[in-house]
Amino acid sequence: MTAPTRPPTSRVAVGRRALVVMAKAPREGRSKTRLAGALSAGEVVRLSECMLRDTIDLARSLDGVHVAVMCPSEDVAVLARMLPGTRIVGQDGEGLAAALTSVFRRFLGTGFSRVVAIDADSPHLPASAVEQAFESLDRNDLVVGPTEDGGYYLVGASAAHRGLFDGALGTSRALDALCASARSRGLTLALGRAWYDVDVPADLRRLAADLLSAPSCAPRTTALLATWRGPEGRLAAADGPGPRDSRRPWAWAAGAVLCAARASSSCSSPSRARPTCSRWRSSRGERTPARGPSQRSLSSPSSGGSRSRSPRPTRGPTCHDTCGTRAPCVRA
């Protein structure tokens, strides 16, 4: 399915659903700062841009959803140039709590009945996880997608609640703080699919390994990571000490990476159809396999396999369980 450049107005009116990506303009010293020890400032910026563009494509793959970006007010002009055709909204106030409060106040106050906010740190997130979040709002006041480090990559609501996000944002207690805040207001809360976002080098290596099995889920990010693989690649350098083969879980699947690199040669290239990834089909009602286990994380404070012919890398469920293909996937 080829992502449209802009959801038609009629779809917004019918669906009354808004999906808002929380983002900052990719800039040196402001984007993914915890990756600075493993990547150069320029590489961090390129990675942030690729992940953001892939996340926008994810959002656009859903039917009946109005897609927008919420960002600091000083980033509106930059992101408008970077993402033409996408609505860019500047937040009120500073910080992530102010941004999340702005999302629900702005969009729920302008005709949308259900609003979900996601970070730009999980470009490989299946569209089915977002669809399930919207469906949960039919039965609950809030829905939260938890991350493995105690934060969350997604939050949705059908009404705005002042002060809901005040608390331990950016720490390992962010999810607990939000749940406690919801309980104190008597709100019902559903937990969505557990996932991980990209905050530190270990997360990036895990993403690289996962994208080998399903490169079409985040083609721009996959293409960029492909240029960092190899004996002198940036990911190899960031792996730290250890046996040579155990630090390159992606080497055995170089063909899949190169294929993705050809399909999406740069961050600025237009999106194309992604036939092997189930998330691009899920919004049309086709069967979407469940997947196991985030540029701007909603809350988080914050492993590769081995490469040798015998034994093979440690693998989890087949990629049919993750992104719709039959290839095995490498797990951290």
Asked whether residue 151 is domain-assigned, the answer is yes
Structure tokens at 145: 């997608």
* Whether the predicted pLDDT of 154 surpasses 80: yes
Determine how β-strand 114-119 pairs with β-strand 152-157.
antiparallel
Residues 40 and 171 in one domain: yes
Lowest mean pLDDT among 37-46, 150-159, 229-238: 229-238
- Alpha-helical (H) ranges within the chain are 9-15, 41-60, 76-82, 96-108, 127-136, 174-184, 201-213, 219-228, 234-238, 254-263, 279-282
Residues 207 and 134 in one domain: no
Asked whether residue 3 is domain-assigned, the answer is no
Residues 97 and 209 in one domain: no
Residues 285 and 229 in one domain: yes
Asked whether residue 326 is domain-assigned, the answer is yes
Helices 219-228 and 41-60: angle between axes, nearest 10 degrees: 160
Q: How many domains does the chain have?
A: 2
With the CA atoms of 142, 148, 154 and 160 taken in that order, what torsion angle do they form, in degrees rounded to the nearest 10? 40
Residues 40 and 72 in one domain: yes
* Whether the predicted pLDDT of 267 surpasses 60: no
**Which residue range forms the structural domain that includes residue 105?**
9-191
Asked whether residue 290 is domain-assigned, the answer is yes
133 with 154: CB under 8 angstroms? yes
Single residue among 136, 160, 191 that ends a domain in this structure: 191
Residues 208 and 281 in one domain: yes
Asked whether residue 314 is domain-assigned, the answer is yes
Residues 44 and 178 in one domain: yes
Residues 53 and 86 in one domain: yes
Please give the Cα distance from 126 to 93 (Å, whole number).
31
Asked whether residue 4 is domain-assigned, the answer is no
Predicted confidence band of residue 111 (pLDDT cuts 50, 70, 90): confident
Single residue among 191, 212, 230 that ends a domain in this structure: 191
Residues 183 and 223 in one domain: no
Asked whether residue 113 is domain-assigned, the answer is yes
**Which of 12-26, 158-172, 176-190 has the highest mean predicted lDDT (pLDDT)?**
176-190
Structure tokens at 308: 């040798």
Asked whether residue 1 is domain-assigned, the answer is no
Question: How many residues make up the chain in this entry?
Answer: 332
Residues 56 and 174 in one domain: yes
* Global confidence as pTM: 0.70
298 with 152: CB under 8 angstroms? yes
Please give the Cα distance from 235 to 15 (Å, whole number).
41
Residues 31 and 166 in one domain: yes
Span 173-225, pLDDT tens digits: 889 999 999 999 999 999 999 999 998 999 999 999 999 988 999 999 999 99
CATH number of the domain bearing residue 183: 3.90.550.10
Q: What is the mean pLDDT of residues 53-77?
A: 96
Single residue among 133, 159, 191 that ends a domain in this structure: 191
Give the pLDDT of residue 289. 37
Residues 185 and 42 in one domain: yes
Q: What is the mean pLDDT of residues 236-261?
A: 42
